[in-house]
Structure 1
Amino acid sequence: MSGYGQGRNHWFDDEAGPVVRPYAMTRGRTTSAAQHRLDLIAVVASEPGAGDPEADPTLSPEHVDIVGLCRNAPQPVADIAAKLDLPIGVVRVLIGDLVHAELVHVTRPVPPAELPDESILRDVINGLRAL
């Protein structure tokens, strides 16, 4: 008899453990309100004084893991995805949830276009040396 009629899924072996699809972690969502700020190098930090994420029944274990990773030191989005072994799209949605819940905040490094020009910095150094 095939595995379909036996009431047990046979599309993975017993050693694989429980399989959770990424869309289940995000409840089918592929974007979040904060997604526009969540590029790979955006840095996520837990909010000081934020409540205990484990006490919130609306948060998944993955949400709690993200807050835990960011509690000791801010983490780039790419590192969070790598450490939790989750797809980057899923991590972006989950972080967006946490931003909305005010458990974490996101900062972005200064874009290279907004950094001062090297010649301006040289002029400042030369001016300081002339003093």
Structure 2
Amino acid sequence: MAAAGDGPWLDDAAGRLVRPYTVSNGRTRPSTALDLMSQVMVTGATPLGYLGPEHTQVLDLCRAPVPVAEVAAHLKLPVAVTKVLLADLLDCGALTTKPPAFHHSPTDRALLEAVLDGLRRQL
């Protein structure tokens, strides 16, 4: 039975009825390299051609800068599929991206040790 407002593509017991690979037309690799923390945002340009419902959802989500990982979480799709959808929108100029901004190197040893110490204190 479909959940209210979700239409025929979602079933309470079975989950998503359309498999993720169909959302990306079987593609598994995006045309643009995207990091999980890359920020994506709409440009205001109208994409030409057919957009699936997931593409439209992405455009609604990205009115403000959003990390790729967060877009995947909102769509409830695997990150690989989400990256393909985002690349489609980047290719047609509907989205723009910028790399994540780190004040320090994300692999800085002192930073990682501080995180580890904080986690140990929580346990």
Shared fold (TM-score, shorter chain, > 0.5) = yes
Counterpart among 68, 75, 78 of residue 84 in structure 1 = 75
Structure 2 distance, partners of 1:45, 1:106, is 6
Give the TM-score, by structure 1 length.
0.64
Higher share in helix: 1
Aligned length: 95
Structure 2 distance, partners of 1:94, 1:110, is 23
Counterpart among 36, 39, 45 of residue 43 in structure 1 = 39
Flag structure 2 segments of 5+ consecutive residues without an equivalent.
Answer: 1-10, 106-123
Give the TM-score, by structure 2 length.
0.68
Structure 1 distance, partners of 2:49, 2:88, is 13
Q: Secondary structure at the match of 1:59?
A: coil
Structure 2 distance, partners of 1:58, 1:92, is 18
CA displacement at 1:15 relative to structure 2: 5.0
Structure 2 vs 1, CA of residues 18 and 110 (structure 1 numbering), >3 Å: closer, same or farther? Answer: closer
Flag structure 1 segments of 5+ consecutive residues without an equivalent.
Answer: 1-12, 114-131
Question: Residue in 2 aligned with 1:23?
Answer: 21
RMSD: 2.4
Question: Residue in 1 aligned with 2:58?
Answer: 66
Counterpart amino acid of residue 28 in structure 1 = G
Spell out, residue by residue over 1:39-67, the C-alpha distance to the aligned partner (whole angstroms, 9 max, x if none).
Answer: 110000000x312x5xx551110000001
Structure 2 vs 1, CA of residues 15 and 106 (structure 1 numbering), >3 Å: closer, same or farther? Answer: same
